[in-house]
Amino acid sequence: MHLFKQNKQNTSRKRQWGTEKRTTPLSMVHNQPSTLKLTLSRVAIILTIFFWVLYIFSTIIRQLIDGPQSYGFTMEAFSYSFVVSLLIFSSLMYLLARHGALKRFSTHTRVPRAILDRFFATHKPGITVLIPSYDEEVSVIRKTLISAALQEYPNLRIVLLVDDNPNPTKPSAQECLEKTRQLGTDISALLEKPYKRFHQAAHTFDTTHKNNKKVTTKDIHELASQYEWAVNWLQTMVEKETIDDHVDVFFKDQIVQGLASDLQLIKEALNMSVEDNAQLSKERIHQLYLRLVWIFKAEFEVFERKQYASLSHEANKAMNLNAYIGLMGGSYTKEQTPHGYVLFPTTNKQANMRVPDSEFIITLDADSLLLREYCLRLVYFLQQPGNESVAVTQTPYSSFRGAYSRIERLAGATTDIQHILHQGMTYYGATFWVGANAVIRKKALEDIVETEIINNIQVKRFIQDRTVIEDTESSIDLGSHGWTLVNYPERLSYSATPPDFGSLIVQRRRWANGGLLILPKLFSQIRSKKHHHQIISRNEILLRVNYMASIAWATFGLIFLLAYPYDGRLLSPLVLLAALPYFIAMASDLKYNGYHYHDVFSIYGFNLIMLPVNLAGVLKSIEQALSGKKIPFARTPKVKERTRTSILFLIVPLFIVGFSLFTVWRNIELANYTNASFAAFNAIVASLAIISYIGIRNLVTDIWYGLTQWMYVEDKPKNKKKSVEHAHSVDWRVVLYHGETKGMIPHQSLYEKQTV
């Protein structure tokens, strides 16, 4: 039964051909795989190993013995077998992680809701939800805040960490910032009426039944009426929502209406219990009242670290989180300075700023949404006996369905595939923290914190920012201190996928950067565990190494296969047979996630045109390793307008197509039809990927811009002399605060001084 009428979509966005109109996500609980599917997953692993071994012995070793005994051919044989082995190894790790996921899905049993309600009626560990935000649209942040606020959790505090410039010069930016700052107050006001109503109703019930009075039919009808009121309130909220895109549809259908459907079901169950003359306990009725209270109870705060001169302003998400986590549990006095507030730790009586502490922290990206039971189920898991050493648990995010662009749909498909693989990595103890969302024990972060003094500013790093994949490095740090990480085997979180090629490049280039830098830390952890006689499985090591380094070797490997004219005698159908289980398994996983089998070819073509992006990320990692300089954190653009693409990332895909066509012609001339077929396949799928995911119009536009942008220069200020004089003027506030200002740069914050 549909509870609410459908809102009219006011979107002006045009849906591309080849996208999907379905907006309903897959179920929260994974389907239990059949015995046949589990068996086939094992067979796929065995066949991959079998055909690889057969290829090495029947082709490589045989050619080394019977083939030309020349140095050049020998080097080609070793080079080709090495590249192919690395690519097949990555395929094998995919199959291994997938098998682990299927094993977990086959044994997972969802905890009944009554057990959760009973547990949290007496256990109320505090949670602080930290939502780092930079240059986000207000409507996007609002949905994230509401999804966090409607968590059915007893002790919830939500902090929006705004990282925008606190003093923007553009009126539009100032207006957006003011609306962002107001969000917490607005949502608190929105939830105030239902919270007060249900808090009073729960208090009345507890007072009336204080002396173990039995629950009557009237009491149950009264509780049912409270649930009905909550459903009607949510209906009114939904009717006021503006629907502009598929994310808005998800928010309406899954966040608000999904919650209302649950409450409607509870109301109907209560009324049916009366009809069946069932006797509900006072404790159960009390728990159901608490559920209503918890849904609408949330405390909000908006925090801007850039207003504080005593906090690091380093431009990345990790330091935005670190700045606030470092303040938690402390009391401070705020002193105004010319550069912003300075915080001094002090006793409670003297403090004019207190930052509450909590047992758990949730990190949540500002473009992510949580389903209603995320907090309950993950915290309950952490609180169970035997899980005391689990530092981080999460549900690797899924993608929003119904994307308007083909590239967003395909990128979403890869995201949903990764969700399965991350679940499987937990089976082997190789979990990595995926930063879009996670529940973290604060005690674990305190174990791995590093403190340093930079220009008299104490900087605490709970989450490492040495690389741009801060969650991956923190996973290794936690493991080195004896903590473990677990992916909860349900779909309870969703996150946005870049809608165009330009913004996707920024994201994927960042993902490709940093894994190589963290590998030495992983090897050090492995040696340490072996030295202390701690068990670490071979599968865990292989999966972790593959996760951090496979982008590097897969990128270089594909480049070698595409560019180098290997001797045809080294080629064999056995290589294709070794890779076939991987492609079949991925096609099956795509179908399981609601996509098409043939999308596996689209993903292959997509990976081809992303080669220069991955290569750029890998080279940046190598550059950082050699220079020792930290790579700047590139935030994924979160704007509705299309992000322009660098000309390099457009020319290289065209070169791949052209070179593949040249390879086809050259190998046909040499009667090397196997090589020609492979090159022709690459040319076709890469061409289709360029047309589908970049677009001919966007391709031409961005290439033209890249070729002509050097012809344009920005206007310089006309009164240059006056501007220079103003820049060197002295601020009396700086003189009174610092004293001698010689050698200092006026009007700069403490952090800006350290980075100039």
pLDDT, tens only, 157-195:
999 999 999 989 899 999 999 999 999 999 999 999 999
pLDDT at residue number 745 = 42
User: CA–CA separation, 133 vs 320, rounded Å?
Assistant: 9
Residue 7 has pLDDT above 70, yes or no: no
Q: What is the pLDDT of residue 549?
A: 92
CA angle (495 as vertex; 489, 499 as ends), nearest 5: 140
Max CA pair span of the chain: 95
Confidence of residue 532 (pLDDT cuts 50, 70, 90): confident
Check residue 347 and give its pLDDT: 82
Its sign, for the CA torsion 546, 547, 553, 557, is: positive
Packed helices 35-55 and 573-592: angle between N→C axes, nearest 10 degrees: 160
Residue 29, strand partner residues? 490
- By residue count, the chain amounts to 756
pLDDT at 481: 92
Q: How would DSSP label each residue in 98-110?
A: HHHHHHHHHH--P
Confidence band, pLDDT 50/70/90 cuts, at residue 631: low
247 contacts 398 by C-beta, under 8 angstroms: no
- Flag whether pLDDT at 82 surpasses 80: yes
pLDDT at 639: 56
Q: Where are the alpha helices (DSSP H) in 564-596?
A: 573-592
User: What is the per-residue pLDDT for 468?
Assistant: 63
* Beta-sheet pairing, 360-364 with 340-345: unpaired
Under the banding of pLDDT at 50, 70 and 90, the label for residue 298 is very high
pLDDT score at 638: 58
Q: In this model, does residue 728 exceed pLDDT 80?
A: no
Indicate the average pLDDT of the chain.
88
At 326-352, the pLDDT tens digits run 999 999 998 888 777 889 888 877 888
pLDDT at 215 > cutoff 80? yes
Tens digits of residue pLDDT in 445-492:
999 999 888 767 778 899 987 766 778 889 999 999 999 999 999 999
- Count CA atoms closer than 13 A to 222's CA, side-chain side: 16
Summarize pLDDT for 407-447 with one digit per residue, the tens: 999 999 999 999 999 999 999 999 999 888 999 999 999 99
Q: Dihedral sign, CA of 496, 497, 499, 504?
A: positive
pLDDT of residue 713: 58
Residue 513 above 90 pLDDT? no
- So what's the pLDDT on residue 716? 53
Model pLDDT for residues 104-134, shown as the tens digit of each residue = 999 999 999 999 999 999 999 999 999 999 9
**Section 645-652 average pLDDT:** 90
Burial 312-339 (b: 16+ CB within 10 A, else e): bbbbbbbbbbbbbbbbbebbbebeebbb
Which of the pair, 580 or 22, is modelled with greater confidence?
A: 580
Residue 642 pLDDT > 90? no
> At residue 4, does pLDDT exceed 50?
no
What is the pLDDT, as a whole number, of residue 635? 61
Catalogue the E-assigned strands of 479-597: 484-487, 493-495
Q: What pLDDT score was predicted for residue 634?
A: 58
Q: Is residue 714 pLDDT above 60, yes or no?
A: no
Confidence of residue 98 (pLDDT cuts 50, 70, 90): very high
pLDDT in tens, 548-571: 999 999 999 999 888 888 888 888
Question: Poorest-confidence range of 218-222, 589-593, 633-637?
Answer: 633-637
Residue 718: per-residue pLDDT:
52
